[in-house]
Amino acid sequence: MKVNVYYGGRGIVGDPTLFVIDKMQEVLEELNVKISRYNLFEEKKSISSLPNTINEADGIILASTVEWYGIGGYMMEFLDACWLYGNKEKISKTYMCPVVMSTTYGEREGQLNLSVAWEILGGLPCSGICGYIQDSVSFELNRQYITLIEKKAENMYRSISQKIISLPASNKEVRKMVSKPASIELTPQESEQLSIYVSDENYVQTQKEDIRELTSQFKDMMGSLGSEDTSPFIADFKSHFVPQTNFRSTYKFMIREQKKSLIIDIRNDTLDIHYGDLENPSVLCKLKSEVLHDIIEARMTFQRAFMTGDMQVKGDFKILRMLDQVFNFTPNII
C-alpha cells in the first residue's frame, strides 16, 4: 500500500499540522505502508505536475493549516492542478484523508472544503482530522490527542485496505451535470504531459515569446493586406482638384463603409485631404461608397446626389454647391 502526503502549509516551526502528519506517518509506516511526502511550499514551481504522483498512490493525505483564512494558496493551487491535469479515473479510486489544524478560526470549514473538493474531483474521502491549537507545545504533549491521531491513521489504513464504500454524495452528481471543465478533452497521458509543460517555467516563457512573435507577425500580415487601399478616394479628389481664388472651406464626408471620415480642407489653391475627424466643418455630408463612386465616375454630381436624397447634407449650402466646381469630375449625365 502506498500513501502520499501533500502538505500545504508554510513549514514554520510549531505548525500543529506538521505534528499531526508526522504521527500519522509513523503509524502508517508501522503498518508497512510506503509514504511519500510532498511539501507544496518547496514544490511551488512544479505544483502543476504533482497530480501525476497520485497515480501511484492508494490513498492520500491533504494537510493544511488555517493561519488567517482558508486552507491556503498552495493547497488551492494543487487542487486546481488536480482538476485541470489529474487522472480523473485514478482519482475516483483514491481515498483522501483531510487534515486541517488552525491557529485561528476556520478549521472545520477547511476540512469540509477539502472533502467537498475531493468529492467533486470524483475521489473517495475518508474521515479527517481538524482542530484549533492555541499552544502547540501542550498539544504535542497531550497523550489523548496523540491517541486520537493514531486512531485516525488506523481508520484510514482500514478504509483503503478494505476498500470501504461510502453512500452516494450529491457533489458527484453535480460534477456530472454542471461541473465539466470548459476545455479540450484530453487523455490521461496528454493531461500528464501538459502538466509537465505547464510546470516548466522555461518552456512556458518560450511559448509566451513564440505567441507574442506570432501575434506580431499576424498583425504585420493584416497590416500589409490592408495597406493596398488605406485611403480610398483621396487620389481621385487630388487629381480632379480645381483651385479657386479667395475660397476657403472644409468638408467632412461620413462614408458609411469607412470607419473614419474623409476630411477635405481647401484654402485657395491648397488642398489638404485625409481620413480623420473634424469638429464643425463648413459642410457635413453623409453618403454610401457607391454614391461617391458614381460621382467620381461622372455618373452623378454632388448637387444631384443631394437633390435625390442619396447624400444627406448639413451646413452652408452655398459652399456645398462649390463642390462640383472645386472638383471637376467632368459630368456625363443625360
In CATH, what number is assigned to the domain containing residue 115?
Answer: 3.40.50.360
pLDDT at 228 over 70: no
The verdict on 154 and 81 lying in the same domain is yes
Interhelix angle 73-85/188-199, rounded to 10 degrees, is 140
Contact 82, 189 (CB under 8 A): no
Q: Does 211 fall in a domain?
A: no
Of 323, 234, 224, the C-alpha closest to 275 is 234
Give the pLDDT of residue 108. 95
Count of other CB atoms within 10 angstroms of residue 107:
24
Distance in angstroms (rounded) separating the CA atoms of residues 324 and 196 = 70
* CATH number of the structural domain spanning residue 296: 3.30.1050.10
The model's pLDDT over 236-259, given as tens digits with 9 standing for 90+, comes to 999 999 998 889 999 999 998 888
Which whole number is the average pLDDT over 128-145?
94
Q: Does 176 fall in a domain?
A: yes
**Residues forming a β-bridge with 248:** 267
Domain range holding 76? 2-199
Which whole number is the average pLDDT over 292-307?
91
Q: Does 219 fall in a domain?
A: no
More confident residue, 208 or 250: 250
Q: Does 220 fall in a domain?
A: no
Report the range of poorest mean pLDDT among 102-111, 150-159, 198-207, 287-296: 198-207
Spell out the residues 6+ positions from residue 131 whose beta carbon is closer than 8 angstroms to its own. 16, 101, 102, 107, 145
The verdict on 32 and 148 lying in the same domain is yes
Give the pLDDT of residue 198. 63
The verdict on 144 and 11 lying in the same domain is yes
The verdict on 142 and 244 lying in the same domain is no
What is the pLDDT confidence band of residue 333, given thresholds at 50, 70 and 90? Answer: very low
Q: Does 107 fall in a domain?
A: yes
Give the pLDDT of residue 230. 57
Sheet bearing 270-276, strands edge to edge:
270-276, 261-267, 248-255, 283-287, 312-315
Contact 59, 24 (CB under 8 A): no
The verdict on 288 and 168 lying in the same domain is no
pLDDT at 225 over 60: no
Distance in angstroms (rounded) separating the CA atoms of residues 6 and 60 = 7
The verdict on 75 and 190 lying in the same domain is yes
Averaged confidence pLDDT in the chain: 86
Output the CA torsion sign for 169, 170, 176, 179. Answer: negative
Distance in angstroms (rounded) separating the CA atoms of residues 110 and 66 = 7
Distance in angstroms (rounded) separating the CA atoms of residues 190 and 251 = 62
Out of 199, 224, 255, a domain closes at 199
What is the pLDDT confidence band of residue 227, given thresholds at 50, 70 and 90? Answer: very low
Contact 252, 261 (CB under 8 A): yes
Give the pLDDT of residue 197. 63
Give the pLDDT of residue 22. 96
The verdict on 240 and 195 lying in the same domain is no
Q: Does 25 fall in a domain?
A: yes
Give the pLDDT of residue 157. 95
Q: Does 221 fall in a domain?
A: no
The verdict on 40 and 137 lying in the same domain is yes
Q: Total domain count for the chain?
A: 2
The verdict on 268 and 192 lying in the same domain is no
Give the pLDDT of residue 194. 66
CA 29 to mean position of chain CA atoms: 43
Which whole number is the average pLDDT over 97-106?
94
The verdict on 105 and 239 lying in the same domain is no
Out of 174, 199, 224, a domain closes at 199
The verdict on 34 and 153 lying in the same domain is yes
For residue 218 the three cell numbers come to 499576424
For residue 67 the three cell numbers come to 493561519
Out of 148, 176, 199, a domain closes at 199
C-alpha gyration radius of the chain: 37
pLDDT at 169 over 90: no
Q: Does 32 fall in a domain?
A: yes
The verdict on 23 and 100 lying in the same domain is yes
pLDDT at 104 over 70: yes
pLDDT at 178 over 60: no
Distance in angstroms (rounded) separating the CA atoms of residues 89 and 118 = 13
Percent of the chain with pLDDT over 70: 85
